[in-house]
Amino acid sequence: MSFFSIVNRCLLELFDPTWFSYIQSSTTAPSDVACQANLPPERHQYKHPFSKKPYFRNRKLRIITPLDIRDAQTLCSIENAYNEFSVSLRRNPGSLHIPQDMEIVVSGKPEEIEKMEKTEETMAISTYSRRASAAYKYSNEEGLTLGEKKEFWHFLAEYPSHVAELPPNTESQFYHAVKTGEFYCAQSTINRTMYPYTERQIDKVVAQYEELKVSLEKGVNVMPSLCYLIGNAMPRLEPLKREDGGLNIVYGGGYDY
């Protein structure tokens, strides 16, 4: 059994299978010549390491979309939605500094995509900064505001195949979350609705992380798998805040969002 098959099997066992749709794993080939055929200029197609679903990225504008940009109507709707968002952002940036590395994800509402009604009005836009490890929300009233941390982790897991390294401080955040998780698991009275991981599950996450790091040191491109692992694990490793029904305890240098 290959290393990637072992990783995938362990991930399937670790995570709730209803969360994810992937079945098989594979190495990532973001620059496969056949995948890049008939794409507009500055666009590249990437493949998720586990779901194998493609996504597309405009390298110049840092626009990411899971929608098929080979379809002219879809591409036009994405560009119109991006242009409208850019104008709104310039008019009202809000109190936050706009990150220089901001990546913009343009996706469509599932019910509208099924009807093939892909217009700029049906497109959803979300923004992220890997350098700041942050997700952002935008409204015409408030401008750009900080989103929930779990949204950034979802982004890291969902679009991992075009990056060559983890965002800054990701590994230190992962380390502190693991330590916090170990503390929670050691509490005999812990309510699993407040902290869902068991000690065995945390050990599996750490073991997979260490195996992927070894592969990286050997020159194997498993960075997409590493991003996916951490992005999926972090929302559950991080305990719930008190206002969400959790205990809000910070331990061992851990952090609280």
**pLDDT value for 40:** 86
Mean pLDDT across the chain, nearest whole number? Answer: 77
Pairing outcome for strands 134-139 and 123-129: antiparallel
Higher pLDDT: 120 or 233? It is: 233
Evaluate if residue 76 carries a pLDDT over 50: yes
Give the C-alpha separation, 6 to 166, whole Å.
22
Least confident range from 15-29, 45-59, 238-252: namely 15-29
Q: Tens digits of per-residue pLDDT, 138-189?
A: 888 888 899 999 999 999 999 999 999 999 999 999 999 888 888 877 775 5
Tell me how many degrees the CA angle 236-240-241 measures, rounded to the nearest 5: 150
> Which amino acid type is present at position 255?
Y
In the chain, the percentage of residues whose pLDDT exceeds 70 is 70
Structural element, H or E, at residue 106? strand 103-108
Closest CA to 17 of 206, 240, 232, 222: 232
**Which residue from 224, 241, 221 is spatially nearest to 180, judged by alpha carbons?**
241
Closest CA to 103 of 174, 171, 151: 151
In the structure encoding, which two tokens stand for residue 54, read together?
């493609």
Angstrom distance (rounded) from CA 17 to CA 52: 16
pTM of the model: 0.77
Question: What type of residue is 4?
Answer: F
The contacts of residue 213 (CB under 8 Å, 6+ apart) are 226
If DSSP codes are grouped into helix, strand and coil, which group holds residue 146? strand
Burial of 102 (0-12, 13-18, 19+ CB in 10 A): middle
**pLDDT for the residue 41:** 86
Domains of the chain, residue spans: 1-26+161-257, 61-157
pLDDT at position 216: 94
Residue range 21-56, pLDDT digits in tens: 222 233 434 445 567 778 888 899 999 998 999 999
CA 240 – CA 257 distance, rounded (Å): 9
Quick one: pLDDT at residue 12?
Answer: 39
Query: Which has the higher per-residue pLDDT, 37 or 60?
Result: 60
| pLDDT computed for residue 139 by the predictor | 86
Alpha helical stretches, state H, the chain: 3-14, 72-91, 110-114, 149-158, 170-185, 199-217, 223-237
Crossing angle, helix 3-14 and helix 223-237, to 10 degrees?
20
**pLDDT band with cut points at 50, 70 and 90 for residue 237:** confident
pLDDT at 101 over 50: yes
Predicted pLDDT of residue 190: 56
